[in-house]
């Protein structure tokens, strides 16, 4: 089944985000080997060149490494994965806070709402 993409951004950046999320969320573990670019592009429903571009960007970031004999591997640098996860979480938090403040909701109310919602999810 092909992955879903938005029309408002380039596909390779969406691929980059999706694969990065798979790595930082633990779907791909440190040291895991990626399937071949062609197979991955078929799975995603994209052109192999587009997938290649996204994977090259992940290599530049350091989340993926390339090895002639082993193919592409997820980094084993768990500190890097954790830093990127925290950076992504901070970005999501900022978007949430900006939206809440645009609604006129103050910090105390935001904290109360987050706490209440988190408790609902824990039960």
Element housing 106 (H / E)? none
Residue 12 pLDDT exceeds 70:
yes
Average pLDDT over residues 6-26: 95
Rounded Cα gap, residues 31 and 110, in angstroms: 39
14's CB contacts (< 8 A; 6+ apart) are 5, 6
Q: Which residues contact 81 (CB under 8 A, 6 or more apart)?
A: 23, 24, 30, 63, 75
pLDDT of 106 strictly over 60: yes
For residue 5 the two structure tokens come to: 């993409």
16, two tokens: 């980059």
pLDDT in tens, 91-101: 999 999 999 99
Considering the entire predicted model, what is its pTM? Answer: 0.83
Give the span between the Cα atoms of 61 and 82, in whole angstroms.
13
Q: What is the pLDDT of residue 75?
A: 96
Instruction: Please give the Cα distance from 17 to 11 (Å, whole number).
Output: 10
What is the topology classification, in CATH, of domain 11-76? Arc Repressor Mutant, subunit A (1.10.10)
Whether residue 119 is predicted with pLDDT greater than 60 in this model: the reply is yes
- Residue 1 is predicted with a pLDDT of 57
Every domain of the chain and the residues it spans: 11-76, 79-122
Dump pLDDT digits (tens) for 22-62: 999 999 999 999 989 999 999 999 999 999 999 999 999 99
């Amino acid at each position: 089944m092909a992955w879903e993409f938005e029309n408002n951004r380039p596909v390779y950046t969406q691929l980059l985000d999706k694969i990065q999320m798979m790595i930082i969320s633990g779907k791909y573990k440190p040291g895991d080997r990626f399937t071949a670019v062609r197979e991955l592009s078929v799975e995603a429903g994209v052109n192999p060149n587009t997938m290649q571009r996204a994977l090259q960007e992940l290599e530049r970031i350091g989340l993926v490494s390339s090895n002639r004999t082993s193919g592409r591997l997820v980094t084993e640098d768990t500190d890097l994965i954790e830093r990127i996860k925290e950076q992504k979480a901070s970005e999501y938090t900022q978007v949430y806070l900006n939206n809440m403040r645009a609604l006129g909701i103050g910090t105390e109310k935001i904290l109360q709402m987050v706490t209440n919602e988190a408790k609902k999810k824990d039960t």
